[in-house]
Amino acid sequence: MNKISFASVNRKAILFGALTIVALIFSVRLFQMQIINQKMYDEKSAGNSIKAIEQIPFRGVFYDRNLNLLVDNIPAYTLQITPADYDTNLNKILDAVLDFDEGTISNILKKNRIYSKYVPIRIKRGIDFKVVSWLEENSNYLSGVDYIVEMQRGYPFGVMGSHLFGYSKEISPKQYQQEKDYYRPGDYVGHTGIEKAYELELRGKKGFKYVLVDSKRKEIGRYKNGSVDRESIKGRDLVLSIDGYAQKTAEEEMKGKRGAVVAIEPATGEILALVSSPEFDLNQFSYVTTKEFLDKIYNDPNNPLFNRATMSLKPPGSTFKILAAIAALDMGVINANTTIYCGGGFTFGRFFKCHGSHGSINVTHAIEKSCNTFFYNLIYKIGLNNLKSYALEFGFSNKTGIDIGEESAGLITDESYYEKIYGKNWPRSIMASLGIGQGEISVTPLQLAYFTAITANNGISYKPHVVKGYLDNNTREIINYNFPVTKTSVKKEVFDIVKEGMFLVVNGHGTATHIRSDEFKIAGKTGTAQNPHGKDHALFIGFAPYENPKIAIAVVVENVGYGGTHAAPIAKRVIESYLTKGKSRNQQNQMITQVIQNGEEIAH
Amino acid sequence: MRIDYNIKDKIDFYIVIPVILLICIGLISIFSSTYNNSLAQNNFEKQLYFVIVSFFIFLIIHFLPTNTFKILSVPSYIFGLLLLLLVLVIGKKVSGAKSWIALGTFGFQPSEFAKIATILALSNFLSRNNNNIDSFKDIIFALGIGLIPVALILLEPDMGTSIVFMFFIFILLFWKGLSILWLVVVISPGVIALSAIFGITTFIISLVVLLGILFLLNRDLFFNGSVFALNLAAGFFADYIYHMLSPHQQARINSFIDPSSDPLGTGYNSIQAMVAVGSGGIFGKGFMSGNQTQLQYIPEQWTDFIFCAISEEFGFIGSISVVILFLILLGRILKNASNSRDEFLSLTQIGIFSVLFIHFLINVGMVIGLIPIIGIPLPFVSYGGSSLVVNVIMIAIVSNIYRTRKNYI
């Protein structure tokens, strides 16, 4: 049987058949893959290949005007989980290690289920170094868990600057739709403050590293050995006009109060300090912002996110008398020697009270004493429309155009405003209180400071701004930005008269003599704005040194009482801090420690 | 007997020309797929060197007296076994298997040499005059000759080569004329073992089918019972082995059952290979222009996945050409084998046919996603010295037999 069946025709046919069938199947399959389904495979193939990895550049840092570093980038560790490699049994341990409530990680992972399980998910930013070393030690047991180093904002100078600097956050879907050409989802963009206003300068230019990736999206090599890679370009390092010392002092002084401080260099319009209080901790925004933090900050009745320095609208109170005086003097309805008699008040339809009887008083002394009667009279000499046009010249009733953030315009009324409401015969008695900055009149702290700066510099200043320029990345030279100049038509003599009055407020027998300083002459004007929400707002505007103004300042403290008592001392501290570059503050601290030491000695 | 000495009579162009073309296609694709890869910088030159070496080896073997093969079959088989033992001791581990012996700068795979030796030895045994292939003793003996090297190769462990051995052993027995019943007996444990891995349902179905076939072919209850028991054991053993496998090996098997189940894991090679082939289109992306190939999406593409590079860069035209060349080559060897009146030479050629056929089947099949990823090269085309030399030796043997065919009529 074996001989017969050896290499039988049947078996040869079977092998031939098998060979032919295999060849046929292969041909059909190849035809199907390469001709019928070619497009599908081609798309997949195109998607493979090269992947551009974005190189996020360092964000520009902020220096103050003395080149002290205010905001920089610090490396921070972010814990991430790659769900594909991750064992959910680790949830409990990680929750504990990261100080999360139980179930937090599980929730985060659930939320991210829509993304590929091979893409790492950020679990917590800014994790402690202790956690990092724990991760390192136990990496064998923690598959799918790792950490990356990311750059986050640090505030090394101890300045909070919550409204000034602002913060960045993940790009919103809306903004992403508008700026698709640069940003990717998940990118951080400036959201408030300088971070937002100077986003284009700060962000630099993304670089791209081209790598070949395998299907795990893991790098398997550089594309063309990196020859086509594009380096990222670091963002511009901004030089702020802010003075770190003044800003810090202002922040400390405003702690626990509601209000704002704005200080401007009169000759340049450069903002030296800009504080809105209460502040909030920017660090909370530089890491993953917790829900509790957001709830707390949104529900805070003091509304810490609100930038009072540029947004809050308050009647200027007696600080507004300076503008009325300028208007009257410049119009010539009074001169330096014109006196008005103050017997304790003024009657126009009804009686308007003054806080004293000042007798016959001229404009400088009216400012010094803050005589209401003088200014009640003055407003009728000036006229509402004229007052408004002077107000506009000095930056009121308009946005100042500051380079950061949102801003309110404020309100200064004119005749047509009242005509609209009451008709032609509107009650003229309304005007009286406007003359002393009360009633239907509102300004921002920034406008007050700007006004003071213009006044201090005899009518000329620049548009207020917080950024002077930037440091060239290579040469490290400061390159200044340009800002438009402001000029008023008011005569210089007018300013001399008004400023003399302001000088007397502090250095004569005025309302703020307690902030008198031997080192430098402060000139200013207090204000106390009545309001329906409780205690009066305390205001102070001022500048120093009197002879050669280097700083103009406005301080507004809400619902505390007299401006002279509550706002003026803050202004003094900030001025002092600026003019001595923070030295006096240190001396003060030293003195305090000395006193304490002495006290201890005595106790012994 | 008169032999006509014209060139056509001395050399079988249906064998030699496809082989030359396949080697050329191989060289082109190796050049392309290693051009941008620093790890495989000199592979083209090395392969060219082996092509030249192979050419001289071909000439030598082609002109040897044909009876040399029979004379050398037993000593070379024993030598082959010794080499397979040696490699287990001094072998170099390459991608998980201890299958290489280092010879100076070149490596050498004893299992490649053992292929030829085993074919010759088994053909020799099966062609003995007193051989009764349907006797239990001779079948066991024949299986022994075949399976000893398989066992040694499995120890390396080299799954792919073991499969090649098992295939050609089976085809040799088939060609020898083993009855269908015995063929079923020989092949069934393998089939059952495979079905066991696929799951309990397929396992039971295949057992039932087996039982049906056995009773159709044979009424001996005891015989059928033993075979069934053997198969049952094979199935459970396979399942046992499967669970003993390391997770990544299991994953490989699983990902074959459904490659898209884990596209970023173990199915990676399979899917990337298919993407490479499919995206080639009709005319291909052109020499040196396939991005799958040039960007090294498939690891070590110049070896087992060389067919991807051909398909991607030369398209359907290129890939179908390779299939046709193999069809011509294998068909011709099969024809020569069935024309050989000498039983030993016929069996030897069928053995060679089987080796090349199974390599072609598995290699191309896995690249186009019809067969799980089993790492064996495409003959004549893939990069690799030992593989090329051994394949050329086999072709030389076929060519030698063709040269002297008229002596054996």
State the best of B279, B312, B326, B362 to mutate against chain A, taking most chain A CBs within 10 Å.
B279
**Parallel/antiparallel/unpaired status of strands A270-277 and A259-265:** antiparallel
Q: What is the pLDDT of residue A287?
A: 60
Is A25 near chain B, with CB under 8 Å? yes
- pLDDT-derived band at B140, boundaries 50, 70, 90: confident
Q: Which positions 325-344 of B are in contact with A (Cβ < 8 Å)?
A: 326-327, 330-331, 334, 337-338, 343
Of residues A420, A26, A89, A359, the one with CA closest to residue B362 = A26
Mean pLDDT of B295-308: 78
Cα(first)–Cα(last) distance of chain A, in Å? 125
As a whole number of Å, the CA-based R_g of chain B is 22
> Dihedral of CA A385/A390/A391/A393: which sign?
positive
Q: What is the pLDDT of residue B346?
A: 92
Query: Percentage of chain A surpassing pLDDT 70?
Result: 89
**Residue A248 CA neighbour count, 13 Å, CB half:** 18
Binary contact (A30, B271; C-beta < 8 A): no
Lowest mean pLDDT among A17-26, B38-47, B58-67, B289-298: B289-298
Q: How many CB atoms lie within 10 A of CB B343?
A: 21
Q: Is the pLDDT of residue A466 over 80?
A: yes
ipTM associated with this complex: 0.89
Q: Which positions 104-163 of B are in contact with A (Cβ < 8 Å)?
A: 131-134
Find chain A residues with C-beta within 8 A of B353's C-beta: 15
Mean pLDDT of A85-114: 82
H helices within A152-306, ranges in order?
A: 162-165, 173-178, 193-197, 199-202, 244-254, 283-286, 291-299
Nearest chain B Cα distance for residue A184, angstroms: 24
Lowest mean pLDDT among A202-206, B104-108, B260-264: B260-264
Q: Is the pLDDT of residue A238 over 90?
A: yes
Binary contact (B174, A11; C-beta < 8 A): yes
- pLDDT-derived band at A1, boundaries 50, 70, 90: very low
Query: What mean pLDDT, rounded, does chain B reach?
Result: 84
Mean pLDDT of A242-251: 92
Lowest mean pLDDT among A171-180, A559-568, B394-403: A171-180
Q: What does residue A299 show for φ and ψ, rounded to 5 degrees?
A: -95, 0
* Domains in chain A with CATH codes: 52-240 (3.90.1310.10), 244-586 (3.40.710.10)
Is A44 near chain B, with CB under 8 Å? yes
Residue A30 has its nearest CB partner, among B134, B176, B316, at B316
Q: DSSP string of B13-42?
A: HHHHHHHHHHHHHHHHHHHHHHTT-GGGTT
Own/partner contacts of A341-347, CB < 8 Å, gap of 24 or more, are A341/A373, A342/A371, A342/A372, A342/A373, A342/A374, A343/A373, A344/A373, A345/A372, A345/A373, A346/A372, A346/A373, A346/A376, A346/A377, A346/A432
Packing angle between helix B159-176 and helix B110-126, nearest 10 degrees? 20
Binary contact (B282, A19; C-beta < 8 A): no
Find chain A residues with C-beta within 8 A of B338's C-beta: 7, 12
DSSP state, B269?
A: H
Segment A345-363, tens digit of pLDDT: 888 888 888 888 889 999 9
Binary contact (A48, B272; C-beta < 8 A): yes
Binary contact (B319, A34; C-beta < 8 A): yes
Q: Enumerate the β-bridge partners of residue A262.
A: A274, A554
Q: What is the pLDDT of residue B22?
A: 96
- pLDDT-derived band at A373, boundaries 50, 70, 90: very high
Distance CA A357, CA A321 (A): 18
Distance CA A165, CA A479 (A): 20
Mean pLDDT of B223-239: 83
Q: Enumerate the β-bridge partners of residue A233.
A: A205
Distance CA B316, CA A438 (A): 89
**Residues whose CB is less than 8 angstroms from the CB of residue B12 and which lie 6 or more positions away in sequence, other chains included:** B332, B336, B398, B399, B402
Distance CA A326, CA A23 (A): 102
Q: Is the pLDDT of residue A211 over 80?
A: no
The helix (run of H) or strand (run of E) holding residue A470 is strand A467-471
**Parallel/antiparallel/unpaired status of strands A188-190 and A168-170:** antiparallel
Single-letter code of the amino acid located at A364: T
Cβ pair A362, A371 in contact under 8 A = no
3-class state of residue A79 by DSSP: strand
Is A16 near chain B, with CB under 8 Å? yes
Binary contact (A30, B323; C-beta < 8 A): yes
Binary contact (A29, B370; C-beta < 8 A): yes
Single-letter code of the amino acid located at B330: L
Of residues A125, A117, A170, the one with CA closest to residue A148 = A125
Q: What is the pLDDT of residue B264?
A: 46
Is A602 near chain B, with CB under 8 Å? no
**Parallel/antiparallel/unpaired status of strands A237-240 and A62-63:** parallel
* Residues making up chain B, counted from first to last: 409
Residue B132 has its nearest CB partner, among A2, A29, A214, at A2
Find chain B residues with C-beta within 8 A of A2's C-beta: 131-134, 176-177
Is A473 near chain B, with CB under 8 Å? no
Token duo for residue B272: 């990337």
- DSSP E strands in A191-235: the ranges are 207-213, 219-222
* The Cα angle at residue A324 between residues A322 and A327, in degrees rounded to 5: 110
Query: What mean pLDDT, rounded, does chain A reach?
Result: 84
Q: What does residue B297 show for φ and ψ, rounded to 5 degrees?
A: -70, -25
H helices within B127-179, ranges in order?
A: 136-155, 159-176
Distance CA B396, CA B400 (A): 6
Q: Is the pLDDT of residue B153 over 90?
A: no
Query: Percentage of chain A surpassing pLDDT 90?
Result: 40
3-class state of residue A47 by DSSP: helix
The helix (run of H) or strand (run of E) holding residue A358 is none
Phi-psi label, residue A256: left if phi above 0, alpha if psi -120 to 50, beta otherwise: left
- Peptide bond preceding A545 in cis form (omega within 30 of 0): yes
Q: What is the pLDDT of residue A220?
A: 61
Segment A518-556, tens digit of pLDDT: 888 999 999 998 888 888 999 999 998 999 999 999 999
Mean pLDDT of A107-131: 74
**Chain B residue with minimum CA distance to A42:** B279
Find chain A residues with C-beta within 8 A of B350's C-beta: 7, 15
DSSP state, A171?
A: P
The helix (run of H) or strand (run of E) holding residue A57 is none
Q: Is the pLDDT of residue A284 over 80?
A: no
Q: What does residue B249 show for φ and ψ, rounded to 5 degrees?
A: -70, -40
Is B365 near chain A, with CB under 8 Å? yes
Residue B282 has its nearest CB partner, among A8, A35, A215, at A35
Q: How many CB atoms lie within 10 A of CB B27?
A: 17
State the best of A34, A48, A49, A115 to mutate against chain B, taking most chain B CBs within 10 Å.
A34
Q: Is the pLDDT of residue B1 over 50?
A: no
Mean pLDDT of B19-32: 93
Is A6 near chain B, with CB under 8 Å? yes
Distance CA B188, CA B170 (A): 11
Segment A578-603, tens digit of pLDDT: 998 766 555 444 444 444 444 444 33
Mean pLDDT of B107-122: 91
Token duo for residue A236: 């511009």
**Residues whose CB is less than 8 angstroms from the CB of residue B269 and which lie 6 or more positions away in sequence, other chains included:** B298, B299, B305, B373
Highest mean pLDDT among A401-410, B88-97, B198-207: A401-410
Segment B302-332, tens digit of pLDDT: 888 899 889 988 999 999 999 999 999 999 9
Size of interface A-B (CB pairs under 8 A): 138
- Cα distances from B287 to residues A335, B46, B282, B283, B311, in angstroms, run 95, 20, 14, 11, 11
Q: What is the dihedral of CA A300, A301, A303, A304, to 10 degrees?
A: -60
Q: How many CB atoms lie within 10 A of CB B50?
A: 21
Nearest chain A Cα distance for residue B343, angstroms: 8
- Cα distances from A508 to residues A515, A516, A572, B24, in angstroms, run 11, 9, 16, 106
Query: Percentage of chain B surpassing pLDDT 90?
Result: 36
Is B274 near chain A, with CB under 8 Å? yes
Lowest mean pLDDT among A21-25, A60-64, A213-217: A213-217
Is A4 near chain B, with CB under 8 Å? yes
Cβ pair A149, A126 in contact under 8 A = no
Q: How many CB atoms lie within 10 A of CB A118?
A: 15
Distance CA B342, CA B409 (A): 8
Give the start-to-end residue ranges of the domains of chain B: 7-178+245-408, 179-244
Q: What does residue A361 show for φ and ψ, rounded to 5 degrees?
A: -140, 135
